[in-house]
Amino acid sequence: MIEIKSSSSNRAEMAAAISLAIMRWQDATQAYDEAVGARLGLNAAERQCLGLLHGGAQSAGAIAVATGLTPAAVTALIDRLEARGLLTRTRSLEDRRKVVIEATDLTRELSARYYGAIARDGEKLIASFSDAELAAVQRFITAALDLQREQLARLKAEAPQAG
């Protein structure tokens, strides 16, 4: 466990400890997601697709944007996950030309099995923070996420470097 020193500590030491904790948290999250994926036979793009659907129905285009896959690759991904009973494809009620992709009960059951304990324990952890602490955490995470998205967009816009 990484310990962040008290407020009497030097600001640079605290910032370094936070940076290290974030890197370890990212690594631990990725390792857990990969272990779940290995257990369920899901690759990274399939896991990302199902994670996106956890927030509600999506279009194939939204899945393509989130995963960075081509439309043809997204169609193949959707076909594989649909064949396994992990998502459904239906026509939009508003626009019959559009297809809506949704998670199935099986996907929700698997999500609860592998991520339910983390969610429940996370809720307990969050409940241990004061309103002021939660506001600071939310402000930090929102800003860090914006920063990460900006850096990803910048990286994707750059020409690939020869290795």
pLDDT of residue 51: 94
75: which 2 tokens?
């169609």
E strands, the chain, in order: 58-59, 87-91, 99-103
For residue 9, pLDDT beyond 70: no
DSSP 121-159: HHHHHHHTS-HHHHHHHHHHHHHHHHHHHHHHHHHHHSP
List 89's β-bridge partners, or say none: 101
Share of the chain above pLDDT 70, in %: 93
CA-nearest of 22, 62, 69 to 45 is: 69
Asked if 25 contacts 75 with a C-beta cutoff of 8 angstroms, the reply is: no
Asked if 68 contacts 108 with a C-beta cutoff of 8 angstroms, the reply is: no
121: which 2 tokens?
């324990």
102 vs 156, more confident = 102
**Burial classification of residue 57, based on how many CB atoms lie within 10 Å of its CB (0-12 exposed, 13-18 middle, 19 or more buried):** middle
Share of the chain above pLDDT 90, in %: 79
Asked if 59 contacts 101 with a C-beta cutoff of 8 angstroms, the reply is: yes
pLDDT of residue 16: 93
pLDDT of residue 1: 58
**pLDDT tens, 30-82?**
999 999 999 999 999 999 999 999 999 999 999 999 998 999 999 999 999 99
